[in-house]
Chains A and B, each alone.
Chain A
Amino acid sequence: DSGVTQTPKHLITATGQRVTLRCSPRSGDLSVYWYQQSLDQGLQFLIQYYNGEERAKGNILERFSAQQFPDLHSELNLSSLELGDSALYFCASSVYPSTDTQYFGPGTRLTVL
């Protein structure tokens, strides 16, 4: 158990809908990262927050957004969902924002029908 929690574990929704994925980092970690893992794209970095501030952005679509709250939990919002958004979404956390080891949560499996 890495100490990173993600909810929900599974999510099934329809195209065009909007969903919110939630992540709580390990105790003491200030940085949160979001990744998408799909069969054809592998593990793709989406976005990083550190103490509430966006620090790095990867291959995140405009339909996706994220934020980190004062209690350090983070939410990833996915809107206007498409079939291709079906994937495993991981959250990871680390103490420092740069080059630190990232510990991953169990993931949220999103299925868009």
Chain B
Amino acid sequence: AQKVTQAQTEISVVEKEDVTLDCVYETRDTTYYLFWYKQPPSGELVFLIRRNSFDEQNEISGRYSWNFQKSTSSFNFTITASQVVDSAVYFCALSEARNYGQNFVFGPGTRLSVLP
């Protein structure tokens, strides 16, 4: 069965610090997709990134970067020079490839507080 673990329940940093959010997943499939979503205090879920299991290239988007390592089943998310607006709950999610539908599992989330 698939599972996503985000061991860090809450993290607090001071503005401009770098912070890494950990995500470890379990799946028996060789083809799968990993996602990060952000849930700010307003409550909506905002899509950040999607990565397939065959693409281990790290990705950078502005202050955000993602490190995907199949060897350790991890898909970590780093925010560089954090800002107060980054305060949110961040969810890692896993989807296994299915022809009929999508089996989508979220991790428990990490609450990030960025203090001014």
Q: Which residues on A are within 8 Å of B, measured CB to CB?
A: 2, 31, 33, 42-43, 45, 48, 50, 55-56, 88, 90, 92, 94, 97-107, 109
Contact = CB atoms under 8 A, between A and B. Distances in A.
B82 interface: no
Nearest to B50: A101
Interface in B82-116: 91, 95-106, 108-109
Contacts of A107: 43-45
B56 to A, nearest CB: 17
B45 A55 contact: no
B97 to A, nearest CB: 5
Interface of B: 32-33, 35, 37, 43-47, 50, 52, 91, 95-106, 108-109
Contacts of B108: 42
Contact of A56 (B35, B97, B103): B103
B101 A97 contact: yes
B47 A103 contact: yes
Contacts of A92: 45
B100 A97 contact: yes
Top 4 nearest A-B pairs (CB, nearest first) are A55-B101, A56-B101, A104-B45, A43-B106
A22 to B, nearest CB: 17
A106 B102 contact: no
Contacts of A102: 47, 102, 104
A56 B102 CA distance: 7
B102 A55 contact: yes
Given A33-B104, A106-B43, A99 B33 contact: yes
B98 A98 contact: yes
B2 to A, nearest CB: 11
A72 to B, nearest CB: 16
Given A104-B45, A106-B43, A107-B43, A98 B91 contact: no
